[in-house]
Each structure stands twice: as C-alpha cells, then as structure tokens.
Amino acid sequence: MDSQRAGAVHGTAEVIILGAGPAGLVLGNILRAAGVDCVILERAARADLGTRARAGFLAANTVRVLDRHDLSDGLRRHGQPHSTCEFRTDGGRFRLDYASLGRGEGHTVYPQQYLVADLLAHYEGAGGRIRFAAEALAVRDADAGRTPPSVTVRTGDGDPVRWQGRYVAGCDGRHGAARRSIPPGAVRRHRIDLGVSWLGLLAEAPPSLDAVGYAVHSRGFAGHMARTAQVTRYYLQCARGTAAVDRSDAQLWDELELRMRAADHGPLHRGRFLQRAVFDLESDVLEPLRHGSLFLAGDAASLLSPSAAKGANLAVLEAELLADALFAALRHGSTDALDGYSARALTHVRQAQRFSQWMIRLLHDVPDLAPATDTVPTTVSDSGDRSEPSPYHTPLQRRPCLDTLRTSRAEQDWFAEQYVGV
Ligand code: RFL
C-alpha cells in the first residue's frame, strides 16, 4: 500500500494540529478552551515529549500570551526573572541591564521541556484530544477546494490511518510533514546562512554568572545561559561539520574557560555535559505561511538561529494569532483574520530574523556582505574553531559595534527592545 495514501477516515476534527511543541500545544489549548474541536497528532511517545531541553528564555510578551490563556502557572511559580547580559572581549567586559533599558522588560527563564509538560497537562486535564506516537506522513488536499484536507498518519506497524478536518495547523517543526506536503513552487523559502556553527552544551552545573554571557574571542564565540539552579547551557562556536563528541568534557571546559576569559573574570562551575549537539546558525522562513487550508506556525513556519533566543517565543505568538483566526473562521464565518495571518506573523518573523542576524554579526567574524539567500563559503581554521575569513571578511567592523553598544544609550535602548521583543 502507498504509505502516503490511507483509505477510510479514521478520525475527524475541525482543526488537526501536527506536533505537540510550544506552538501546537498553545494552539490546542486556546482552541479547546474556545470550544473548537481539535486533535493534536504527535510523533513522539508521551514519555519522550517532556524531556527535550531546548529554549529557556521567554520574553515578557510570551508570558503575557500564556497569562491571557491561563497557561502560565508553572512558569509563574518556578520561572526566574532575568535581566542582564555581559559581553566579554579582549578589551574587558561590560554589562547591560536590559530590563531597565528600552521598553523596560526582561525575560523569564523557564526550560522549554517544563513549559511543554505544563501545556500538555493543562490540555489533557481539560479533556483535549492528543495522539502520541502518531507521525504525520503527509497533508493531502489542502488546496483541493471542496474536498476537506486530511492527514495520513503512521501510528505503529500497521497501515497508515487518515484524519480529516476543516483546517490543518502545521506545528511539527522544520522537518515535519507540513513543510514537506507543500508542493514545490507553491510557497517561497528565504534562507540565510552566514556559515556559523555552534556546539550546544547542557551542563549539570549551576550557572557561573548571574547574566547571559557572550564572549567574543579570536578562537571563536562562547556563550553562557542559565537554565535552572542545577543546569546551565553553554555554546562554543565550532567549525562546520565538527562532530559533537570529538572532545572530552575536560577539554570542552578548558576551551570554554579560555574563551570566556576565566583567568580574568573567574572560573566556570564545571559539571558533566548532559547534552551535546552541533547546529548551524541558519535561518529560514516560508512565504506565505499557508497553503490552502494548511497553516504553518513555529519552527514549521520559520527557523531562527538560537543566537537571539526567539524561536519558542515566536511559536507562542503565532499560535495565538492562528488560534484567534481559526476561531473567527469556524465560529463567525469570517476568514479575514485567516487571510491576514501570514502577513501578520511574517512581520514578527522578519523583525526577529533581522535581530538574530545582527547578533550573529556582533558575536562572530562573518562576512559583511553575505548573500541573503545562500550559504557563504568558508573554510575551517586550525587556530581555533571559527571559520576562516572569506574575501569579504571584516572583523574590524564588529568592534565598533561592541563599542557603540557599550557606550551609547540610544544603541543600548535599541538592543534591549529587540532582545526581549517579539
Ligand atoms: P518543536 O518544539 O520542534 O515541536 C514540534 C513537535 O512536532 C513533532 N513532530 C511531528 N509530529 C507529528 N508528525 C510529524 N511528522 C512530526 N514531526 C515533528 C515533534 O516531535 C515536536 O514535538 O517546534 P515548535 O512548537 O514550533 O517550537 C519551536 C521551538 O522549539 C524552537 O524555536 C526553540 O527551541 C528555539 N530555541 C530557543 N527559542 C527561544 O525562544 N529561546 C531560547 O532560549 C531558545 N534556545 C532554541 C534554544 C533551540 C535550540 N536548538 C534546537 C538548536 C536553544 C537550542 C539549543
């Protein structure tokens, strides 16, 4: 049997939501509370869902969205307010208390896996429908006019089953079925890749400083971000293609201490690394975020490099926008908000991408005039982990940016507004 085709309809819902990450679960919770019949189809097993450590920095607007829908209990109780970042360079270090700059807002640090667990508990507690170990294979008939869209789903060893709905919300991330199901040419994909890669590390160790740490070093960038009192995230810029396991924990701590200038500013709290993953700091966005009755939100809509901690925040914002638009269409027969969803969401995505590209350029030596839609050619240096300069390489342009950020109140206000804004 064609694995993408499935016969009789196995289940129906007004809205079929693919993926139970922040986007899918916020969407599901808002729709369910509004009395919209929806089902979430999630590829992972239930036990695996709440264990994926990723984001941690939630913007004030994200917290407001979660407050509005009564979804913020856990983060209000256990999240930690955060308001400071520290830049370390060969000229010394400086701090920005960003919550007292710009629009006067900070972050709440609350690990993404806890947020996902809270959202799931709330959704199921309220009677929301979800199927685990249900991998969407394809969305069919999204632009078929009178034929309702459906999703073929693999749920085990048997033949795929089919769910049918009025709308499908693709919240299944970058490699999910929603993106894959859009025919070539139906939407545009804009991609930015400045050739920078990071080794992301999760350390079983308390934070080493009471601030986000950004260290700019000739061997490459290093970063520090608190997660909980026992767990801290670190980043090390690495050459593209680096294997995540090619160095011991002790070697990685030595490299982190070197780049973060521990000799000048104090040692790091060491511990076992619980997670190591290399990822490329690329960003992309589809346009429009819709194909017929299939709508995209979260990482399925746009991928943001974690350089500016925006991905989960955008996912929550888009989920609320999409929920309101679907509700208006289903209950009031007005599709205006659905028709405007893509343009509204893209305004926020573009703003976030602009800032995240600015952060990449601030923290790394990257070409100044990189093409906007393709990979910048870089080669691997053996003098550290950063990529070797391309012909356009202009590291000197980065220093004035850092100096301006250190000295100009106007620049600091702009930074603070962008840093916490979505
Ligand atoms: P998710 O969280 O990836 O959830 C998608 C869900 O869909 C499921 N799925 C499928 N289900 C059914 N059928 C299929 N075919 C499916 N394919 C996939 C998956 O199992 C999963 O449960 O997407 P969502 O909801 O759009 O949320 C996006 C965020 O997860 C992401 O943007 C952030 O984690 C990005 N990010 C950060 N964002 C922030 O706002 N602040 C941060 O501090 C921050 N730190 C980070 C980050 C991302 C990182 N990684 C992944 C590189 C730090 C790191 C290390």
Residue 393 maps to a domain: no
* pLDDT for residue 377 is more than 60: no
Q: How many domains does the chain have?
A: 1
CATH code of the domain containing 69: 3.50.50.60
Q: Is residue 178 part of a domain?
A: yes
What residue owns the CA closest to ligand 1's atom 54? 54
CA of 93 to the centre of ligand 1 (A): 32
Does residue 342 lie in a domain region?
yes
pLDDT for 6 equals 64
- Confidence band for 125, pLDDT divided at 50, 70 and 90: very high
Does any domain span residue 69? yes
pLDDT tens per residue across span 282-291: 899 999 999 9
Which atom of ligand 1 is nearest to 44's Cα? Answer: 20
Instruction: Give residue-wise pLDDT tens across range 5-25.
Output: 567 888 999 999 999 999 999
Task: With cut-offs at 50, 70 and 90, classify the pLDDT of residue 51.
Answer: confident
The pLDDT tens digits of the residues spanning 378-412 come to 222 233 444 443 434 445 557 788 999 999 999 99
| Token reading at 131 | 């199927």
Q: Is 176 in the pocket of ligand 1 (CB under 6 A)?
A: yes
Is 330 part of a structural domain of the chain? yes
- Residue 395 has what pLDDT? 53
Ligand 1 neighbourhood includes 315 CB (under 6 angstroms): yes
Give CA 422 to chain center in angstroms: 12
**For atom 6 of ligand 1, which residue has the closest CA?**
19
Is 372 domain-assigned? no
Q: State which residues form the domain around 58.
A: 9-82+107-192+283-361
C-alpha of residue 262 to centroid of ligand 1, in Å:
32
- Separation of alpha carbons 253 and 238, rounded Å: 14
Q: Token digits for 199?
A: 């080794």
CB of 132 shorter than 6 A to ligand 1: no
Q: Which atom of ligand 1 lies nearest, measured to the CA of 112?
A: 34
Q: Which ligand 1 atom is at minimum distance from the Cα of 134? A: 12
What pLDDT, on a 0 to 100 scale, did the predictor assign at position 399?
74
If you average pLDDT over every residue of the chain, what do you get?
A: 89
Going by their DSSP bridges, the two strands 107-109 and 294-296 should be labelled as unpaired
The full 3-state SS of the chain, as one line of letters, equals CCCCCCCCEEEEEEEEEECCCHHHHHHHHHHHHCCCCEEEECCCCHHHHCCCCCCCEEEHHHHHHHHHCCCCHHHHHHCEEECEEEEEECCEEEEEEHHHCCCCCCEEECCHHHHHHHHHHHHHHCCCEEECCCEEEEEECCCCCCCCCEEEEECCCCCCEEEEEEEEEECCCCCCHHHHHCCCCCCEEEEEEEEEEEEEEEECCCCCCCCEEEECCCCCCEEEEECCCCCEEEEEEECCCCCCCCCCHHHHHHHHHHHCCHHHHCCCCCCCEEEEEEEEEEEEEEECCEECCEEECHHHCEECCHHHCCHHHHHHHHHHHHHHHHHHHHHHCCCHHHHHHHHHHHHHHHHHHHHHHHHHHHHCCCECCCCCCCECCCEECCCCCCEECCCCECHHHHHHHHHHHHHCHHHHHHHHHHHHCC
244 or 170, which is more confident: 170
- pLDDT at position 380: 26
Residue owning the nearest CA to atom 26 of ligand 1: 298
| Residue 4 falls inside a structural domain | no
User: Do the domain assignments include residue 222?
Assistant: no
